Amino acid sequence: MSGFVIFFIGLMLLQSVLSVAQVKQYQSFIKKVTTEQAGTDYDFYTEVVKGRVMRTVVAVVVDKDGKVIQCYCCSGMTVFAKFKEDSSYQGKHLEEFYSKKVQESQLSKIEEALSKIYSRKLEAIT
């Protein structure tokens, strides 16, 4: 019985250490992007889209017109998932994803996050 308790405590400690590492990695990524964009007229947004098993975190830099300048995606179940730049969304407007969501029922996780960012941006204006 005591072996089980020690094993359980070890798992809890490991989870705590890995959670702290994940938070530090997220903070360093956010700091890197915000310092790169400091002094520009660009806005920076993040959004989390939850799936059944995995989550997708999208970080996007947009200009005042809502055009995507940079788009980063972090998707996975573990603490080892890292942000990766997705250049396929560069140059597109957030409004495209919002109107696509209204017309279609199925969007990719990244498109769903970009749509949510656009609606959040609209709420900030009104």
Closest CA to 61 of 81, 79, 87: 87
pTM (two decimals): 0.80
Please state the domain extents for the chain.
Answer: 2-125
Instruction: Identify any residues that bridge with 75 across adjacent strands, giving them in sequence order.
Output: 56
Mean pLDDT of 1-5: 86
The more confident residue out of 51 and 78 is 51
* Per-residue pLDDT tens over the stretch 22-64: 889 999 999 999 898 888 889 899 999 888 878 889 999 998 8
